[in-house]
A and B are shown apart, each in its own frame.
Chain A
Amino acid sequence: AQTVTQSQPEMSVQEAETVTLSCTYDTSESDYYLFWYKQPPSRQMILVIRQEAYKQQNATENRFSVNFQKAAKSFSLKISDSQLGDAAMYFCAYRAYGGATNKLIFGTGTLLAVQP
């Protein structure tokens, strides 16, 4: 069974600084998708970034980028130039490629605080 592990329950960063959130996963599949979601106090899961496992290039979305290490099964999120609005719970998630369902498997989350 696939699992997702986030070993940092809480992280803190100064405004304008850079922070990296860690995520490891376990799967026997070779094709899959990985996601980082942000959950602010409004509770709605918001997609931050998505990575397809078959792509060697790391995904980037503005200030957000990932370090995808397929062999190590590691998928970290780097937030550059942190802003107060980045404060939220961040979840790493895995989805198998193909199959009958679009089931997402989530980690336990990292609560990010941004200090002014």
Chain B
Amino acid sequence: ETGVTQSPTHLIKTRGQQVTLRCSSQSGHNTVSWYQQALGQGPQFIFQYYREEENGRGNFPPRFSGLQFPNYSSELNVNALELDDSALYLCASSDFYGYTFGSGTRLTVV
């Protein structure tokens, strides 16, 4: 098992900029989900990708977008960054049996 790797681990961006976060998938998992965890809060579901298609989305605006690649790795893109986008972004790959989370990317928007 390879686990889930997220990059980068930390990132500082300026309001209005764009950011791309990356996530590898656990071997054998074809589904990837992204979560936003604000300080002191539980993770909030952003969206999910299954076999390169988005098949579920939480209450996040369109400036949050993503991709999944043929090897099931994934990207989260956020355009026009706002201060409130500062958070820990978690990626989780999954199959029917369960989830494997990465250690997250800490994004700070200044």
Contact = CB atoms under 8 A, between A and B. Distances in A.
Q: A and B: real partners?
A: yes
A47 B31 CA distance: 18
Indicate the size class of the contact surface on chain A.
Answer: 20 to 34
B71 interface: no
Contacts of B58: 103
B86 to A, nearest CB: 15
For the complex of A and B, the 4 pairs showing the least CB-CB separation, nearest first, are A101-B56, A106-B42, A45-B101, A44-B103
A57 B63 CA distance: 44
Interface string A30-59: 000000000000111111001000000000
B104 A43 contact: yes
Indicate the size class of the contact surface on chain B.
Answer: 20 to 34
Interface stretch (B11-19, B20-28, B73-81, B87-95): B87-95
B7 to A, nearest CB: 14
B64 to A, nearest CB: 15
Interface string A101-116: 1111111110000000
A101 B56 CA distance: 6
Contacts of A104: 33, 35, 43, 45, 92, 99
A100 B56 contact: yes
7 contacts: A43-B103, A45-B90, A45-B99, A101-B33, A102-B56, A102-B99, A109-B41
A48 to B, nearest CB: 12
B56 A108 contact: no
Interface of A: 4, 6, 42-47, 50, 91, 93, 100-109
Contacts of A47: 98-99
B104 A106 contact: no
Interface string B31-57: 101010000111111001000000110
B3 to A, nearest CB: 9
A42 B3 CA distance: 15
A24 B40 CA distance: 19
B66 interface: no
A50 B104 CA distance: 22
Contacts of A93: 42
